Amino acid sequence: MYNTSYILACDKDHVYTALNRFDPKQNAFEGEYSLLHNTYSRDQYFLARFLIEHVAHPLVFLNSESDRYHEVIHNYGHFREDDISRYVQERVLQENEFEQTLTVQQSIGQLQLLIAKKMIEKELESVQNTPSSSERDTYVLLGKDWAFRWSVNTINDLVEQGRA
């Protein structure tokens, strides 16, 4: 993992925003860190706000390996420091809500599959109880029986994959 952290500082206003480490897999910075929630914002919200508010100002991009980085951290103000925990909390709540919605949708899908399975099993039972009057009817009923059994097995496989 990359250990170098980054900040973007405005020398005119004496403030900085923490970008933290760059994740090359995501092609993004971790974003601001919330001590209260022990997590990063994982988006560019604060960077975008910083850039908008300092559009005509000279900005300095610094990494944690430079002496100036530590000087800025200690002497400059942290941009929107009071908003970080609230913003990260909102993001965590949104992620939790998304996960709950996804779980509900998956459960509904599982229920729909089980209903379809019961309907197919009912048809299978009907086919199995239907007497055949000729050899041709026997082959048709065997084909239907095979198709319904295959459908039930496929649904069982899908349900098991959904639970994994």
Asked if residue 123 belongs to a domain, the reply is yes
Assess contact for 36 and 85: CB atoms under 8 A: yes
What's the pLDDT at 90?
A: 93
What's the pLDDT at 1?
A: 47
DSSP state of 80: T
Asked if residue 99 belongs to a domain, the reply is no
Span of 14-18, 106-110, 120-124 with lowest mean pLDDT: 106-110
The mean pLDDT value for 140-151 works out to: 95
For residues 110 and 100, what is the distance between their CA atoms, to the nearest angstrom?
A: 15
10 plus 65 within the same structural domain: yes
pLDDT greater than 70 at residue 146: yes
Asked if residue 88 belongs to a domain, the reply is no
What is the per-residue DSSP string for 98-161? HHHHHHHHHHHHHHHHHHHHHHHHHHHHHHHTPPPSSHHHHHHHHHHHHHHHHHHHHHHHHHHH
Asked if residue 64 belongs to a domain, the reply is yes
What is the per-residue DSSP string for 39-73? EE--SSHHHHHHHHHTTTS-EEEEETTSHHHHHHH
Q: How far is C-alpha 121 from the chain's CA centre?
A: 36
Asked if residue 140 belongs to a domain, the reply is yes
Q: How many CA atoms lie within 13 A of 112 on its CB side?
A: 7
What's the pLDDT at 2?
A: 67
Residues sharing a CB contact under 8 Å with residue 127, sequence separation 6 or more, in sequence order = 141, 144, 145, 148
What's the pLDDT at 159?
A: 85
Q: Mind listing the pLDDT tens digit for each residue in 43-100? A: 999 999 999 999 999 999 999 999 999 999 999 999 999 899 899 999 999 999 999 9
Domain that holds residue 31: 5-79
Assess contact for 12 and 53: CB atoms under 8 A: no
66 plus 115 within the same structural domain: no
68 plus 12 within the same structural domain: yes
Tokens read off for 45 = 């919200």
Helix (H, G, I), strand (E, B) or coil at 83: helix
Local confidence band at 118 (pLDDT 50, 70, 90 cut-offs): very high
Local confidence band at 125 (pLDDT 50, 70, 90 cut-offs): very high
pTM of this prediction?
Answer: 0.64
Please tell me the total count of domains within the chain. Answer: 2
73 plus 19 within the same structural domain: yes
Asked if residue 85 belongs to a domain, the reply is no
